Amino acid sequence: MKKHLYILFLLSVLFPVYGRSQQIAEQKIETVLSKMTIRERIGQLNQLDGRGIHGTVEQLKELVRKGEVGSLMNITDPKVINQLQEAACKESRTKVPLIFTRDVVHGFKTMLPIPLGQAATFNPDLIKEGARIAAIEATEHGIRWSFAPMIDISRDARWGRIAESFGEDSYLTGKMAVAVVKGFQGEDLSHPQSMAACLKHFIGYGAAEGGRDYNSTYIPERQLREVYLPPFKQAIEAGSASIMTSFNDNDGIPATGNKNLLRDMLRKEWEFDGVTLSDWGSVTEMIKHGFAQDRKHAAEIAINAGLDVEMSSKSFIQNLEKLIAEGKVPESVLNDAVRNVLRLKYKLGLFEQPYTDIHKPTETYSAKHLAVAKKVAEESVVLLKNDNKTLPLSSNIKSILITGPLADASHDQLGTWTMDGETDKTQTPAKAVASMYGDKVKIHFMPGLTYSRDKNQSSFDEVLRIAHSVDAIVVFVGEEAILTGEAHSLAGLNLQGAQSELIKQLKATRKPLVTVVMAGRPLTIGREIEQSDAVLYAWHPGTMGGPAIADMLFGKAIPVGKLPVTFPKGVGQIPIYYNHTNTGRPAKGNEKSIDEIPLNAKQSVLGHSSYYLDIGSKPLYPFGYGLSYTTFEYTDLKIDKTKLNKNDTLSVSLKIKNTGEYKGTEVVQLYITDIVGSVTRPVKELKGFERLELKAGEINTIHFNLPVSDLAFWNIDMKKTVEPGKFKVMVGTNSETGLEANFEVE
Ligand code: BGC
């Protein structure tokens, strides 16, 4: 404690304003702490669930009065929240308020697209707005701590939780993470509409072997630091109030018991002063991992490793008193953890205003919130294909068939982690197209299949009869929300049920066929894309998915989304991601396919390069890919210097022309390649993106500033350094296509 106050004293001398308010807060924390018994302190670290599994509301109140609970999950009735808060603030000895928590992952009631869809917008400002509305709606219901954003780098579409992620790239994920933190937490965390963010899952959970949820990971330190950690670090620098440990063991150490990670890196190296929280039961799951003997041992490992709050598994409240008495857990370790929790409560302003104002007019589902949700949904849609300018539907089209199991799936389009989303508020494409465009086109609706896994083709004949009679067909396929998310990994990524067959039969009508995919992950839909004239990838687009897609079909909205994750041709290509390192024998692109291999071919005729005989080396679509209804031409790439020193900034400019017929926005992406390093370097790395809106025919110049310091990486000596040498910069429309220039760092 003395050391603590000394640091604060130093801070206040060096930075008087920061020092003063911080010092007052820390003094208050010390005062509160000094009045608490050991058991009451442990209570602050105990997070329980309010849905009944840990007792009725009355039983929870009793625990709160005794000071045995610090935060409560999953209660969303502000009246109940206020009652429990009263038990804490008026009826407990310590009067320390509770925090109420929830997984507000992509919206509270007004659901935004799933995070993977949000990442496809490449629009952090918009995502910040989305997070803001989520915070406004959640705090109105008493929630002040959200378990989001999930910023696990996800390179494996089999993993169901890829839906909750911002995709495969650290740079993009970092930008989105910061946007969500700022949107949730607002300008001032103590404002009643601000909600603490929780970065999860620390660390490496998305690299679960085989894409099977909860599986072990094997990420070496360099890759952790290069790929998995940067978004967490950036979001912490942006002020994230908390961080959640992950379920997985990385290289043999479960994250919840990883002292190097939680103490050495997070606290010492990054100077994080927020709360560390376990995942649900991840403290006692260390027993199943074979890392702890029993619950008591698990508690000892976790708190000594640097975990503050235990979610749901109660081993702290049951064992820490004994562990402290036995000298296995120093009291100072307990006190530090409690300080972190009290600090969060102070920052949230809960000591001054613990209650939720239930008389405040509601903003939930306000027109503004629905408009933001629609905008995010629009910008998340990725146009994968548009042969013969099938989209937007031309004014010559007088009748359409809307079909497919996802056309009117109010539950599924909300996606995974929609704890509070309501299907009766969901606007589906089938209904939206009818209500918004029903006066312009005759609309027939017949789903053909009732849900994505449905194999019953009995209504196909009727669907096809209508299909033959209309001018165009829009088929909504994909996956149900339940096939994505936590513990919903898949070994195969083809369309489920009879959806492929439906597309095949619709294609046979020779009517213009637009396929809209609503899914929580990349699906291996190469064949269905070939059979379609146009394809929109709409993810699970949330409450306003219907109007967003309707406007896109009819040209009122123009696609702008780009893929935040590489789409594999087949599951066997996974892991496949754009920023891999090179082999000594990279694929050349002209490899023989399996059908071209001559009979009795000699071992060497295939050329010894790194690819799959049956599906090659290329993905179905690369990271960053996405078309528009218009087209863009990139010319005149210029860099201001070709030789730079380590303190310089490279200025990059180029011209972009809208060469099509519609106004459109292009997400222009900047990638670099470090040609030679003391360790092998990724073939490409995203280092910037900018949006440019252009009218048809308009031309404009776009600028990027790339500080040389952004070229730093964890070198052979595990130091973050810019190594002198040759680099390439590419600016383009996706990670595979662009204009290039070379420069050198001296
Ligand atoms: C998930 C977390 C989530 C927690 C609380 C866990 O199963 O892994 O992401 O925040 O439950 O709902």
Give 10-residue mean pLDDT values along the chain (746 residues). Answer: 52 55 90 98 98 97 98 98 98 98 98 99 98 98 98 98 98 99 98 98 98 98 98 98 98 98 98 98 98 98 98 98 98 98 98 97 98 98 98 98 98 97 98 98 98 98 98 98 98 98 98 98 98 98 98 98 98 98 92 89 86 94 98 98 98 98 98 98 98 98 98 98 98 98 98
Q: Whose CA is nearest to atom 4 of ligand 1?
A: 280
Active site residue 251: no
Residue 161 CB–ligand 1 contact under 6 Å: no
Ligand 1 atom nearest to 200, measured from its CA: 9
Rounded CA separation 573/434 (Å)? 40
Residue 280 CB–ligand 1 contact under 6 Å: yes
Angle (CA) 338-182-363 rounded to 5° is 100
The CB density around residue 696, as the number of other CB atoms within 10 Å, is: 13
pLDDT at 7: 54
The string of pLDDT tens digits covering residues 298-344 is: 999 999 999 999 999 999 999 999 999 999 999 999 999 999 999 99
C-alpha neighbours within 13 Å on the C-beta side of residue 97: 21
Answer for the pair 496, 170: CB distance below 8 angstroms, yes or no. Answer: no
pLDDT at 593: 86
Residue 279 CB–ligand 1 contact under 6 Å: yes
C-alpha neighbours within 13 Å on the C-beta side of residue 70: 30
Q: What is the 3-state secondary structure (H, E, C) of 687-712?
A: EEEEEEEECCCCEEEEEEEEEHHHHC
Answer for the pair 227, 165: CB distance below 8 angstroms, yes or no. Answer: no
Measured in Å, residue 280 CA sits from the centre of ligand 1 at 6
Q: Whose CA is nearest to atom 6 of ligand 1?
A: 280
Residue 551, SS3 per DSSP: helix
Compute CA distances 400 → 130, 145, 383, 500, 724, whole Å: 33, 45, 20, 20, 59
pLDDT at 1: 42
Q: What is the 3-state secondary structure (H, E, C) of 277-330?
A: ECCCCCCCHHHHCCCCCCHHHHHHHHHHHCCCEEECCCHHHHHHHHHHHCCCCC
pLDDT at 2: 47
Rounded CA separation 230/224 (Å)? 9
Q: Whose CA is nearest to atom 2 of ligand 1?
A: 279
pLDDT at 47: 98
Answer for the pair 430, 546: CB distance below 8 angstroms, yes or no. Answer: yes
pLDDT at 591: 84
Residue 308 CB–ligand 1 contact under 6 Å: no
Residue 486 CB–ligand 1 contact under 6 Å: yes
pLDDT at 708: 98
Q: What are phi and psi of 454, to 5 degrees?
A: -60, 130
Ligand 1 atom nearest to 312, measured from its CA: 5
pLDDT at 10: 54
- Count of H-run helices and E-run strands, the chain: 21, 26
Catalytic residue among 156, 279, 408, 454: 279
Cα–Cα nearest to 339, from 737, 673, 7, 693: 7
Residue 587, SS3 per DSSP: coil
Measured in Å, residue 651 CA sits from the centre of ligand 1 at 43
Rounded CA separation 255/261 (Å)? 7
Q: Whose CA is nearest to atom 5 of ligand 1?
A: 280
CA dihedral sign of residues 383, 384, 386, 390: negative
Beta-strand relationship, 720-721 and 713-714: antiparallel
Ligand 1 atom nearest to 201, measured from its CA: 9
Rounded CA separation 202/243 (Å)? 7
Cα–Cα nearest to 416, from 491, 478, 495: 478
pLDDT at 9: 53
Rounded CA separation 37/335 (Å)? 11
Residue 200 CB–ligand 1 contact under 6 Å: yes
Residue 454 CB–ligand 1 contact under 6 Å: no
Measured in Å, residue 303 CA sits from the centre of ligand 1 at 19
Q: Whose CA is nearest to atom 8 of ligand 1?
A: 279
Compute CA distances 693 → 662, 670, 701, 702, whole Å: 11, 17, 11, 11
What residues are paired with 275 via a beta bridge?
Answer: 242
Q: Which of 279, 282, 311 to mutate to test the pocket of ligand 1 (most atoms within 8 A of CB)?
A: 279
Q: What are phi and psi of 394, to 5 degrees?
A: -75, 165
Residue 533 CB–ligand 1 contact under 6 Å: no
Answer for the pair 562, 734: CB distance below 8 angstroms, yes or no. Answer: yes
Residue 152 CB–ligand 1 contact under 6 Å: no
Q: Whose CA is nearest to atom 10 of ligand 1?
A: 147
Rounded CA separation 392/73 (Å)? 45
